[in-house]
Chain A
Amino acid sequence: MVSETSEPHAGLGRPIPLGIKVLVSGGFGVGKTTLIGSVSEIKPLHTEEPLTYAGVGHDDLAGVEGKRTTTVAMDFGRIYLSDELVLYLFGTPGQDRFWFLWDELALGALGAIVLADTRRLADCFAAVDYFERRGTPFLVACNCFYGEQPFNVAEVRDALDLDEGVPVMLCDARDRESSKRVLAALVEHVMRLRARPAGPTSGAARPAAVTP
């Protein structure tokens, strides 16, 4: 039976874990699902959004008057670092029209991994722009699909017009060790940003250029 103490938990003695949220974004088919799956147990998470909200200006509603909601699927992975510490990875929906979902995902996130395919670099512009505007710490990881990249890290940085302080690295999203390195690099990046003397920027403002 339940004792008469004020202890409300069913899971007696189990602490409430601290969840840390990391976003994985980038263009369609760039390997977000692969990266999340390589380091965590992955499950789809879906949300049913009213069309009037999700599709404003994007969905042609002619002929689908009866359809009021649309399903948006995201990848969701969990990494149990300890009993009390869980890393949650959320793959952001690929389509730009689901920006409103990004806002919920980005809220309180530790940071973001922008996965890029250098053959289609433009696909990740939207994500880079979003996290810059929002002031969410992020790094760019170039997924090496065939074991090689036609461009080097400096060229990618130039092409994306990234601030000096934003890390750019190569990775193989299929490889667990490589994906772990990307996650660790993001955490280190966040730690570096914190160690910086407090600048004038915070919150949604665009971060000032980082002095190396």
Chain B
Amino acid sequence: MADTDEPSWLDQDAGPVVRAFAVTRGRARPIAGSFDLMAHVVAVNPGSARPAHLQPEHHAILALVMEPASVAKIASELDLALGVIRVLLGDLMQEGLIAMYDPPGGAEALADDVLQAVLHGLRDL
């Protein structure tokens, strides 16, 4: 496309043109909540008006969490660093636009029948 017309003055080795935390304007910690990799996030009141100051990345997250999505999934789908996603999720949490569900207390808390279900699921895959 247009790339061939433009002089290419940056190559892959230059790394990302914009630093990861530019999206969060340098903020490295979420203002609200802490987001486990495995926590699920879901949009709350999706019909309500959204604050005007939201960035495109916030909207992208909201679009993705119309159905429950894990923090890890959101980060990989949107191809943004985990830390950046956590800051953005904190913003959305503060605005009351998302709800978060922590994973249930680690693997020890899993019932035996859940493990059975995993085994069966794997075999049926």
Bound state CA distance, A184 and B121, in angstroms? Answer: 10
- Which residues of chain B have C-beta atoms less than 8 A from A21's C-beta? 37-38, 103, 107
A10 to chain B, nearest CB (A): 4
The answer on a CB contact under 8 Å between A45 and B20 is no
The answer on a CB contact under 8 Å between A10 and B110 is no
A206 close to B (CB within 8 Å): no
A77-88 interface mask toward B, CB cutoff 8 Å, 1 = contact, 0 = none?
011011001111
B55 close to A (CB within 8 Å): no
Q: Main SS of the interface on chain B?
A: mixed
Restricting to A1-50, which residues have a CB under 8 Å from any CB of B? Answer: 1-2, 8-11, 14-21, 39, 43-50
Restricting to A94-142, which residues have a CB under 8 Å from any CB of B? Answer: 104-105, 107-111
Bound state CA distance, A20 and B114, in angstroms? Answer: 10
Which of B20, B40, B67, B121 has a CB less than 8 Å from the CB of A19? B40
Bound state CA distance, A111 and B110, in angstroms? Answer: 12
Bound state CA distance, A44 and B48, in angstroms? Answer: 33
The answer on a CB contact under 8 Å between B68 and A2 is no
Of the candidate stretches A145-153, A161-169, A186-194, the one touching chain B is A186-194
A79 to chain B, nearest CB (A): 7
Query: Smallest CB-CB separation from B81: which chain A residue?
Result: A48
The answer on a CB contact under 8 Å between B107 and A47 is no
Interface residues on B, range: 35 or more
- Which residues of chain A have C-beta atoms less than 8 A from B101's C-beta? 16
- Which residues of chain B have C-beta atoms less than 8 A from A183's C-beta? 122
Query: Smallest CB-CB separation from A105: which chain B residue?
Result: B37
B49 close to A (CB within 8 Å): no
- Which residues of chain B have C-beta atoms less than 8 A from A76's C-beta? 72, 76
Most A CB contacts (10 A, CB to CB) among B99, B117, B118 go to B118
B106 to chain A, nearest CB (A): 3
Q: Which residues of A contact B (CB under 8 A)?
A: 1-2, 8-11, 14-21, 39, 43-50, 69, 71, 76, 78-79, 81-82, 85-88, 90, 104-105, 107-111, 180, 183-184, 187-188, 190-191, 194
Q: Which residues of B contact A (CB under 8 A)?
A: 19-21, 28, 36-38, 40, 42-48, 65-68, 70, 72-73, 75-77, 79, 81-84, 99, 101, 103-107, 110, 112, 114-115, 117-119, 121-123, 125
21 A-B residue pairs with Cβ-Cβ distance under 8 Å, sorted by A, are: A11-B66, A16-B42, A16-B101, A17-B40, A17-B68, A20-B110, A21-B107, A45-B76, A46-B81, A47-B83, A48-B81, A48-B82, A48-B84, A69-B21, A76-B76, A81-B118, A81-B121, A85-B114, A104-B37, A188-B119, A191-B112
